[in-house]
Structure 1
C-alpha cells in the first residue's frame, strides 16, 4: 500500500461495530425507556433473538485488552455476580414474545471460561428452555486456552455450545509474554482435535500490532493456524486506547509496530490466508469457502451486530446481560453499568442496571444501514437502502454527510468507485473502509471524541 495513503488515512475513526459508536451513548435513556424499548422490539425487525452474556472475570490481565474485565479475587463476589446475572435474565425474558426464536447466544468477557462449566450450562438451559431456536443457531463462547484442560473442553461441548472461539492471539511465546498473556495449557493442536472430533465449529482469534510482532513472525503464526484448518480465522487489529485501559501503556514501554509495519503484518497474513483457500470477510475474518458468511458476502447480504459478522438468517436484536452489556434493539441501544457492585445491588433491588444508551432517529437508522452495508459488503446501493428503509434515494442521501467532493477525493486516491447509484470500496483499500464510512457520518462533523486508527 502506498505510504502516502497510509499516512493520509491512518487517522482515528470509529470502528463502527455499532452505529452510532458507543461513545455517543448518554445517560438520557432511563431504565423505564429500556423496558419500553424491549416491549416494542417484539414488533420490530429483526424478529430473531440474539443474547449476549458478559463474564468479566480473568485470571490475569492481558495488557492489550480493551474490555471491561477484572481479576478473579473473591469467590463470594463472583457468586453474587452470577446470581445477579441470572436474576437479570429472569427480569427480561418475560418481556419477550415467546413465539420469537433464538438465533444466537454469545458469551464474552473477560474470560467466560473462568467459570465452571456447570454455571455456563445452567445459564444456557435457563434461556433455551424458554424459547425455540432457529435451525442451526449459533451458541458460541470465547475461550482462553491458558487455563482449560482436556476435561474442561469436553464438558464445554456438553453444555450446549456449538461454536468455540479460541483466543490464541499469537503462537509466538515472546509476544504473549510481552502482552502478559498466559500460554495455552495444552497444545492448541490437541484442542483442535478434541473439538473437531466432536463436530464443533471452530474459530481461532489472533491480534496483530502487538510488541515484538513482525511480518515474518506473524506469518509463522498464521501458517501454523492454517495447518490446523479451523473453520474461521480472525485477525483483530490491536486498538491502542490507553485512555480506556491504562494497562496498555505497558506495551508502549516495549514498543508497538509502526503503521507501515502493522499494515505489512496484516497484508502478509491476509495473502497467506487467501492463498490457503480462506475467503476474506469484512476487515478481519477469514472463512472456509463453504461458510455461510462467505455465501452472504457473495450475495451482498452479509450483516453484523454486536456479536460480530452474521447473516440475515442468524442476526437478531441483541439483549445483553451482565456489566457493560450492550443491548442492540431496532431503534435503541442500552448499556449496563460497568461497576460490578452497582450492578449487583441494582439487579437485586429489581432494577434494570442501565447506565446509558441512545435512541436513534430516522436519519440515524438510515445511516446505520448505510455504514453496515459498507463495513460488511464494501458496497452500498442507494436504491437498496431506500427500499429497506422505506425512503427515497434523496432522503437516504440527505440523512448522510453526502459530499461529492470528498467522495471524488477517495476515488482519486483509489479507495472507492462511486456513481449516483452506489459506492464500492476497492479491494486493495479495504483497511480504509472505516474512513469512507466516517466521511458519510454526520455525527463525525466537529466531533472531538477519541478513536483508534484503522491501520
Structure 2
C-alpha cells in the first residue's frame, strides 16, 4: 500500500454515518412528528405513489448470539414467543390498513432480523398470507428473506417460495474457524451450500451472500479462503460490508477488544484484496459495498441509473413508501421517518392497545429533502449538483470548504456546483456525503454515535 493511501486512511477513518437515511437517526427530531402528522404523511405519499409500497418486517428472535451483530435482537430458545409476536405484527398492519386510502400494491416484502427462520415455516406462511390478503402484488415483486443457514430448513424455503419469495440473503461473514469462534457463529461451508442448493431448487432468482471485512482476527488469507469457497457457490449478489465496531451500542462486541481487530491499513488491504478477487470472479462493483453478476437486477439497475438506497441498503425498488412492521422497524414516506419501540414487550403492549408503536421519527423540512436527494445521488450515481439558491451562505461556505479539501485529496471533482466522485473517492463515499450533511456541519460527530468510515 502506498503512502498516499495510508495518509488518506489515517485522515478519513473517522466516525461517519452510513447514510441509509437522511437525516441520520441521531439527528431526528421526534417532536416534529405526532401521530396525526404521520398518518397524513402515509396517506398523502400513498396517493402520490398510486398505492405502491414496500414492507419490511423485523423478526428479532435468535437462538444464539452472533457477537459482531449490532442489530436489534432477542436471544431465546423459547419458541412460544412466535405466535404473540406475529399477532402483534398483524395488528400493526391492520392499523396501517385503516389509514391507507386504497388497496395496497405490494412491490417488496423483506423479512429481516434477528433470524427470520427462528419462526416455523407455518408461522411465516400465516404471517405473509395475512399481510397480502386484501392487497395487490406487483408482477415484478421482490419478496426476500435473511437466512442464517444453521436455523433454516428446506421446509422454510419451499413454503416461502410458494408464496412468491424469490430472493434470499445468506449470512456468511467469514469461514475462518478462529473468526467464527470470536463472533460466536460456527457455520460450515457444507451447511451453507445445503441452503444454497435449496434456494436454487425452489427457484429463488437472486441469492445474496453477506461477507464482512474488519472482523476480529481477520487476515488477507482468511478472506482469500472465504471468497474461494463463495466462488464455488456463485451467488448472484455479494454484500461486502465493513464491520461496524460499536460496543457502546452492542455489548456483545465486548467479547473481543479493539486490539483483536485489523488496524485501518490492514482492514483496507483486506477489502481491496476481496474486491479484486470478486471482480476476477465476474462480480461488478455497485455502490460502496455491493457486488453483483452482470445479469442480476441490482447491477442492471445501477447500469441504467435506477439504483436506489434505503434502510435495507441498495435496492432496485424505487417506491417512496416503506412500512416497517415489528419491534425497532423503521418506516419511511416521501417526507417522514418513524421508528418503532425496540423492546419486544413494549412494542406488543402498544400495538395490542391500538397505539402506533413509534418512539422516534422525523418530519423532513425542505432543506432535508434537498440534501437527502444529494446524498442519494452520490451514493447511487456517484455525482450530484448542489443548488446554491436553496441554501444559506453558512451551509454553502462550510460544505464547499470540506468539498475542496476532498478535491485536493483526489476524492471528488468540483465543477461549479457539480460534484463527481472519483474512482478513488468511491472508497470514501461516506466521508463525501458527510461533507454536505447540514446536521454534521452544525455539530461535531462523536465516536459514540457512528462507526468508522473505513
Please, what TM-score do these two structures have when normalized by structure 1? Answer: 0.92
Q: Give the match for residue 422 of structure 1.
A: 418
Contact 1:30-1:354 within 8 A present in 2 as well: no
Change (3 A) 1:299 1:404: same
State the secondary structure of the residue aligned to 1:319: strand
1:367 corresponds to: 371
Structure 1 pair 153/411, CA: closer, same or farther in 2 (3 Å)? same
Q: CA deviation at 1:401?
A: 4.4
**Alpha-carbon contact 1:235-1:284 (below 8 Å) kept:** yes
Pair 1:330–1:287, CA change in 2 (3 A) = same
Q: What is residue 162 of structure 1 aligned with on the other side?
A: 166
Instruction: Check the 8 A contact 1:48/1:102 in 2, yes or no.
Output: yes
Cα distance, 1:377 vs. partner? 1.8
Aligned partner of residue 110 in structure 2, secondary structure: strand
The 10-residue stretch of structure 1 (195-204 or 55-64) with the greater mean CA deviation from structure 2: 195-204
C-alpha contact (below 8 Å) 1:367/1:400 kept by paired residues: no
- Residue 25 of structure 1 is aligned with which of 23, 28, 33? 28
1:98/1:130 contact within 8 Å kept: no
Corresponding residue for 2:450? 451
- Alpha-carbon distance, 1:184 to partner: 4.6
Give the equivalent residue in structure 1 for 2:13.
10
User: What's the offset of the Cα at 1:76?
Assistant: 4.1
Aligned to 2:98, the other structure's residue is in SS state helix
- Does the CA-based 8 Å contact 1:103-1:314 persist in structure 2? no
Of 345-354 and 181-190, the range deviating more from structure 2: 181-190
CA contact (8 A) 1:47 1:317 kept: no
Deviations 1:95-121 (A, max 9, x none): 224355211111111111100011111
**Cα deviation per residue 1:155-195 (whole Å; 9 max; x = unaligned)?**
34334311011111112222111101131595322322221
Partner Cα distance (2:407, 2:21) in 1: 26
The aligned counterpart of 1:153 is 157
Match of 2:46 in 1: 42
After superposition, residues 195-344 of structure 1 pair within 5 angstroms as 195-200=199-204, 201-252=206-257, 255-311=260-316, 314-344=318-348
What is the CA–CA distance in structure 2 between the aligned matches of 1:17 and 1:148, rounded to whole Å? 28
Distance 2:24 2:76 in 1: 30
Are positions 1:434 and 2:434 aligned together? no
Deviation for aligned residue 1:6: 0.5
Distance 2:422 2:351 in 1: 48
- Hey, what's the Cα distance between the residues in 1 that align with 2:332 and 2:200? 32
Distance in 2 between residues matched to 1:254 and 1:146, nearest whole Å: 29
SS at match of 2:11: helix
Aligned-residue RMSD, C-alpha: 2.1
Bigger drift between 398-407 and 185-194 goes to 398-407
Matches of 1:186 and 1:301 in 2, distance apart?
A: 36
SS in structure 2 of the partner of residue 447 of structure 1:
coil
Question: Given the two structures, how large is their TM-score scaled by the length of structure 2?
Answer: 0.92
How far did residue 438 of structure 1 move?
0.5
Structure 1, 19-28 or 95-104: larger mean CA deviation = 95-104
Does the Cα contact within 8 Å between 2:377 and 2:383 map onto a contact in 1? yes
Contact 1:147–1:184, Cα closer than 8 Å, also in 2? no
CA-to-aligned-CA distance 1:199-248 (integer Å, 9 cap, x gap): 21211111111112111211221121122111101111110111111111
Q: Which residue of structure 2 aligns with residue 386 of structure 1?
A: none
* Aligned match of 2:390: 395
Q: The residue matched to 2:305 in structure 1 has which SS? A: coil
The answer to whether 1:178 aligns with 2:188 is no
User: Is this contact kept in 2: 1:401–1:439, CA < 8 A?
Assistant: no
What is the CA–CA distance in structure 2 between the aligned matches of 1:373 and 1:172, rounded to whole Å? 36
* SS of alignment partner, residue 187 of structure 1: helix
1:93 aligns with 2:92: no
Distance in 2, matches of 1:369 and 1:235, equals 25
Is the 8 Å Cα contact of residues 305 and 315 (structure 1) preserved in structure 2?
Answer: no
Q: Which moved more, 1:441-450 or 1:363-372?
A: 441-450
Q: Name the CA distance, whole Å, in 1 between partners of 2:403 and 2:437.
A: 13
Q: Does structure 2 conserve the Cα–Cα contact (< 8 Å) formed by 1:380 and 1:424?
A: yes
Separation in 2, partners of 1:45, 1:348:
29
Q: Aligned to 2:235, what secondary structure does the other structure show?
A: coil
User: Where does structure 1 lack aligned partners over 5 or more consecutive residues?
Assistant: 383-391
- Write out per-residue CA displacement over residues 40-83 of structure 1, whole angstroms, 9 at most, x where no aligned residue: 22233585201010111001111111111011244444432221
* Structure 2: 5+ residue stretches without partners: none
Q: Which residue of 2 aligns with 1:376?
A: 380
Q: Distance in 2 between matches of 1:280 and 1:396?
A: 33
